[in-house]
Structure 1
Amino acid sequence: MSNDIAYPVFRTPDPVLALSVARRLMMFGSCEYTKVSLYAEIHSVAEVRRGVERLPEGWFRGQERDGECDVPFEDLPAWLVGVRWSGLPADPASYEGRLPVEYELLDQEVGSVEDVFTAAIGPSIGEINWQDLCWPDAPEVGFHGESKHAEVTLLLNTRTREYNELSDDHTVLVHVRSVDIDGRQVREPYAHWLARQVGLEVIGPGQRC
């Protein structure tokens, strides 16, 4: 079993610019199988109300409260399992202990959802992930191409794949296979090479998820 590691290659407070740069990198490795997936964490009732009708038609899920992990699946409120936006509760009190609301929309056609998601995310944490890319060979630096871990991610309002802190900017990541030998990522130069092909450069350490 192998894993990926993602390197930041661009950062800006402008979400539209960040999306444009991420697309440029994605197109370098795009192939017929490439899809895009969306994820978000919505941290307030106001943002849920503002954003749900503007986001693409994905699934929303509230958090389980303490002690609910042993509740039978069928007895949980439906929106803790996953509902469309119309199934979210209208009563603000229903969100107590349920935030952040998670949002997910998987395996969409490239170009079909990215713009509306970027416009709708507001101050919430979001992620656009293009997967199933095909990175080319880079013989001048000694690397064969790859597809299993060829991805591009745009992080919105956070700098980490763990979503563990808000930020006022947006970060583009390039993914490659993680190969750790004696604490050294031997495929990191491949990430640098990929970034350079579209006029970017690695600007920070790799991130695992």
Structure 2
Amino acid sequence: MPATIDLWQGARMSNGVSHPVYRTSDPAAALATARRLLALGDRDDTHVSVDIELCTVAEVLEVRQVLPEAWFRTENEEFWAREVDAQTGLRCDWHAAELSTDANGLDPLLPLWASLLDQPVGSVEDAFTNLVGARYASIHWGRLIWPEAPERGYSGRVEHDGVTLVFNCDDAATTRRVGTHTVCVDVHRIEGSQSYAAWLAEQIGQAVVGPP
């Protein structure tokens, strides 16, 4: 399972679930749909986090420039096997400012994942969507409060409510599918959660398009 889902595990663990409600080949349309969903909820405490896989030095340097506050972590198994600090978990990531810009220094770390967590809504989404291209990536808006819908048996729970946009993989975020971008509604896992997710999707003219 790729690291893309790291940012939104909270919505998919025992008390949370994500329902795909929109799928498209147009990343800009996916972002616009995600924003329409966000507009349905209380966003006073909402933040946004992004995550992207980088397989070449050129990609790392590009993201480092676009997201100068990002953190980078390696997924290179040989690095983890070789580095004592990595084995003990004492040194597994680097801030953009301290990441090497030399190809010889970056090559042994590839693939890298870049993450930027808990940012103000609207601060990074457009620039991030523009640089995704064919890479695995995700945007997660957390601490959203969905409206209550007693007829659907749902009251918003801020620790699980949110929206996730997954780029270039299927709605389960497990299989690469370049050109497929999926918007998911994140809700508290209850008996009627799919019905409630469907109701949220209906508010913007969409529907649940796959299994949770």
| TM-score above 0.5, yes or no | yes
The Cα of 1:24 is off from its aligned counterpart by 0.6
Please say if 1:61 is aligned against 2:67. no
Q: 1:67 to 1:20 in 2, by over 3 A?
A: closer
Match of 2:113 in 1: 102
The Cα of 1:146 is off from its aligned counterpart by 2.5
Per-residue Cα deviation, 1:56-78 (whole angstroms, up to 9, x for no partner): 531112234337358432899x9
Aligned length: 199
Please say if residues 86 and 92 of structure 2, whose CA atoms lie closer than 8 Å, have aligned partners that are also in contact. Answer: no
Per-residue Cα deviation, 1:60-100 (whole angstroms, up to 9, x for no partner): 12234337358432899x9842220661342257424x332
Please say if 1:205 is aligned against 2:211. yes
Unaligned runs of 5+ residues in structure 2 are: 1-12
Select the residue among 189, 196, 199 that pairs with 1:190. 196
Tell me the secondary structure at the aligned position of residue 203 of structure 1: coil
Deviates more, 1:140-149 or 1:102-111: 140-149
* RMSD between aligned residues: 2.7
Normalising by structure 2, what TM-score? 0.81
Amino acid paired to 1:104? S
Matches within 5 A, 1:19-168: 19-55=31-67, 57-66=69-78, 68-69=80-81, 71-73=83-85, 80-84=92-96, 87-92=99-104, 94-96=106-108, 98-168=109-179
Q: 1:16 to 1:86 in 2, by over 3 A?
A: farther
Cα distance in structure 2, aligned partners of 1:42 and 1:163: 17
Per-residue Cα deviation, 1:127-163 (whole angstroms, up to 9, x for no partner): 1100000011112223223222101011111224544
Which has the higher Rg, Structure 1 or Structure 2? Answer: 1
Cα distance in structure 1, aligned partners of 2:28 and 2:194: 28
Tell me the secondary structure at the aligned position of residue 148 of structure 1: coil
Amino acid paired to 1:19? L
Q: 1:155 to 1:43 in 2, by over 3 A?
A: same
Q: 1:73 to 1:79 in 2, by over 3 A?
A: closer
Normalising by structure 1, what TM-score? 0.82
Select the residue among 2, 5, 8 that pairs with 2:20. 8
Structure (1 or 2) with the greater helix fraction: 2
Tell me the secondary structure at the aligned position of residue 191 of structure 1: helix
Cα distance in structure 2, aligned partners of 1:134 and 1:42: 32
Cα distance in structure 2, aligned partners of 1:81 and 1:146: 31
